[in-house]
Amino acid sequence: QSGNSFHVFDQGQFAKEVLPKYFKHNNMASFVRQLNMYGFRKVVHIEQGGLVKPDKDDTEFQHPYFIRGQERLLENIKRKVTSVSSIKNEDIKVRQDNVTKLLTDIQVMKGKQESMDSKLIAMK
């Protein structure tokens, strides 16, 4: 009613009749996963509490840029991408330093283990 979401009233029928027209599948879970990748979220009403399955098969989805009559906003709905370029060089250096420290610690522990093994053999 408010124009900022859409409803799927019958998931079975939607998956059977609508999804195959636009996707290579008829799997509702795959469709929901695609929606999530584009930033859509399932609307959970307070009276449902998110824990109780609603009596009717009505699923509602919303996105901040999905608003009735605001077609110009649709271009802002983009697939979320995690790129390697978003990792900063200093983060990589810190991680390399951590790996170097771990390797050094392992070498020290290995040396101590060998020393303890030698002592144990001598004691036997």
- Give 20-59 pLDDT, tens digit per residue: 999 999 999 999 999 999 999 998 877 655 555 555 678 9
Same domain for 59 and 119, yes or no, is no
Q: Which two tokens stand for residue 99?
A: 């790996």
Distance CA 42, CA 50 (A): 10
Same domain for 90 and 72, yes or no, is no
Distance CA 106, CA 101 (A): 9
Write the pLDDT tens digit of every residue in 65-120. Answer: 999 999 999 999 999 876 666 666 666 766 777 888 888 889 999 999 999 999 99
Same domain for 109 and 74, yes or no, is no
pTM: 0.58
Same domain for 32 and 56, yes or no, is yes
Same domain for 1 and 52, yes or no, is yes
Same domain for 75 and 18, yes or no, is yes
User: Which residues constitute the domain of residue 103?
Assistant: 82-123
- Give the type of residue at 63: H
Same domain for 71 and 105, yes or no, is no
Same domain for 8 and 59, yes or no, is yes
